[in-house]
Structure 1
């Protein structure tokens, strides 16, 4: 199993989630985050005003996906979230060695 973390522009989050609606996912988690990537140098161009150290609003979508479906899921996210402009976001894919469902663990102890 893999964990896919997509950090995207907020106004595209609903479109990405809609595009993943029928995807074979184990689970999904969404939250609002703030940060910056390579566009930090772009923000510095504003000098001493309020934007110079600004964190940009983003949405983080975390998905748990079967290994065989990762490429399909990543392609779908890129297809929907890519605008071609700086700050479109990032996608990280990591391996999940193990996981447990809390409810199932409680039943094992009974």
Structure 2
């Protein structure tokens, strides 16, 4: 199993969630986060914004679904703005075990 953590622009989240559900990935955890990437924030006029609001989507999937899921997220999170930064980042980590609390069953 793999955990996908996708940090994306808040205005793209509802579209991404809809596409994930349509593609058979309905189980998602969404967390409001703030942070900055390589650009170290954004400067607008004289004001520097160090913490940019983003949303983090967490999804646990079977290993074989990785490429399809990553492609779906990238396709729907990317703004397409020329020279744009801040569309987000995707992190992938291995999940050794998962349990459903209500039934104490192991696995997805």
Q: Give the TM bin, normalised by the shorter chain.
A: 0.7 to 0.9
Of structures 1 and 2, the one with the larger relative CO (CA 8 A, separation 6+) is 1
User: Which of the pair is proportionally richer in helix?
Assistant: 1
The number of aligned residues is 102
User: What is the TM-score normalised by the length of structure 1?
Assistant: 0.81
Post-superposition shift, 1:46? 6.1
Q: Which is strand-richer, 1 or 2? A: 2
Larger Cα Rg: Structure 1 or Structure 2? 1
- The partner residue of 1:51 within 45, 48, 51 is 48
Q: CA deviation at 1:71?
A: 0.7
**3-state SS of paired residue (2:103):** helix
Runs of 4+ in 1 over 2 A off after TM superposition: 22-27
Q: TM-score, normalised by structure 2?
A: 0.83
CA-based RMSD = 2.1
